[in-house]
Amino acid sequence: MKKIAASLLVAASLFGSDYNYELTPVVGYDIAEGNINLENYLTYGLEAQYNGVDSAIKPELSVLYAKPDYEDGYTGDTDVWRVALNGVYEYDKKGAIIPMAKFGVGYENLSDNKSGNTNSLFGDVGVGAKIPFTDMIALKLEAIYMAKFNNFRWDNNLVALAGLNIAFGASARQVEEVPVKEEKVEETAAVAAVPVVLDDDKDGVPNAKDKCPLSNAGAKVDANGCEFDSDKDGVVDFIDKCPNTPAGVAVDAKGCTLDSDGDGVVDSQDKCANTPKGQEVNSDGCPHEINLHINFENASAKVDSASMVNVDKMANFLNLNKNYSIKIVGYTDSKGSASFNKKLSQRRADAVRKLLIEKGVEPSRVSAEGRGEANPIADNATAEGRAQNRRIEAELIRK
């Protein structure tokens, strides 16, 4: 029994390591997303992996075929062909079970494109394991998630596969085992004593000292085997598209400065961080015209208490940004005569100007103009519309 267990462990430690090619006939079950109106179905095919590359990730070509039936009002069936190119990483080649992960892209072709299904590219990611029987044969189990952009929507498939993995084609690393005679024990021991330095990610730092064992191939690393991040933004140089980001500035996954409101001015320079989408802005990220959302009661120039928050925000902005002056523009609804509304709007603009000056803004930087019932932004025929038209807008002027 001990001999059998030892043989299995030896087979596991040697499986696939000295063979350039692996072929795996597979059969499995596809769980299809409901909106493509295909029944869950059996699928089968072939996977071919090449181990002759000097990389921890090995290329794999996968071909799968199925013939599922349509459902939910659609009749007939369709041929489904999938061809994918994946990268495969095996985590532990010395155990009785060899965990693995894969990712890649492929193309799906259907002979009958009902229910909006299209022939198109898909991305896949999967996990699995190999369970060796000998140094050349193993059971291969996989679970693969596929995402496909299908006719202006994303559709998903989950596929479980099982197959018999066959390794062949000895590589240059494979050596013939020679029985060791007793009289050569000392010589063999001397050879075995030579240390083997492993460096799985090929970054020049041995595994024993490598604190970042999965460095990107070709990336520059420090003495600990970790990739450099020259601008200290949390994105390593190898994938950093903006390598000179200022210190302390928030960045995206590519290492580039964020522009949260999408106005073309990065957050670190944006003085108006919540500009509405599509609003034209200047180099500070501030719009030229702003609705201060200050409303008034009918025929009144008194700013209500709820609107004081917006007055405070504008005063704070002006006090922090001395390179801006502001023109307060008052409007009314259409009730009353045009001349009365003109005067009322001027009183309203003057009231807001006075409040800004009281909060520390220099008088020379604040002007006021009343435009009466001109330029309504809502329907004056309704009470709600008239309330919106009784408003104050600001025109920012950058010196």
User: DSSP secondary structure string, 272-291?
Assistant: STTPPTT--B-TTS-BSEEE
pLDDT of residue 210: 81
Asked if residue 342 has pLDDT above 70, the reply is yes
Residue 281 has pLDDT above 60, yes or no: yes
Neighbour tally for 253: CB within 10 Å = 9
Q: Is the pTM of this model over 0.75?
A: no
Categorize the per-residue pLDDT at 183 as very low, low, confident or very high, splitting at 50, 70 and 90. low
The 10 Å CB-count burial string (b at 16+, else e) for 115-152 is bebeeeebebebebbbbbeebbebebbbebebebebee
- Distance (Å, whole) CA 285 – CA 150: 38
- Above 80 in pLDDT, residue 317? yes
Q: Residues 29, 40: contact at Cβ < 8 Å?
A: yes
* Secondary structure E strands in the chain: 19-32, 41-50, 57-66, 80-90, 98-110, 120-132, 137-149, 154-170, 289-291, 324-330, 366-370, 392-398
Chain segment 350-383, per-residue pLDDT in tens = 999 999 999 999 999 999 999 999 889 899 999 8
Do residues 150 and 113 make contact, with C-beta atoms less than 8 angstroms apart? Answer: no
> What is the structure's pLDDT at 368?
94
The domains found in the chain, sorted by start residue, are 2-170 (2.40.160.20), 292-398 (3.30.1330.60)
**Residue with more model confidence, 282 or 237:** 237
Q: Which of 229, 234, 199, 228 is nearest to 214 (CA)?
A: 199
First-to-final CA distance of the chain:
89
pLDDT in tens, 95-147: 789 999 999 999 999 999 888 888 999 999 999 999 999 888 999 999 999 99
Residue 155 has pLDDT above 70, yes or no: yes
Mean pLDDT of 26-53: 92
Burial 55-77 (b: 16+ CB within 10 A, else e): ebebbbebebebebebeeebeeb
Using the predicted structure, report yes or no on whether residue 279 has a pLDDT greater than 60. no
In this predicted model, which residue has the larger pLDDT, 14 or 337?
337
Residue 137 bridge partners (DSSP): 166
Residue 132 in 3-state DSSP? strand
Count CA within 13 A, CB hemisphere, residue 97: 4
User: What residues contact residue 114 under an 8 Å CB cut-off, 6+ apart?
Assistant: 37, 70, 74, 76, 78
More confident residue, 262 or 118: 118
Find all residues with CB under 8 Å of 26, minimum gap 6, and list them: 44, 45, 46, 47, 64, 140, 142, 161, 162, 163
Percent of the chain with pLDDT over 90: 38
Q: What is the three-state SS of 89-105? A: EECCCCCCCEEEEEEEE
- Residue predicted with more confidence, 142 or 276: 142
Rounded CA-CA distance 370/389 in Å is 13
pLDDT number for residue 75: 87
Is pLDDT at 190 greater than 60 in this prediction? Answer: no
How many CB atoms within 10 Å of residue 328?
Answer: 25
Strand partners, 129: 99, 141
Does residue 295 carry a pLDDT above 70? yes
Q: What is the predicted pLDDT for the residue at 167?
A: 92
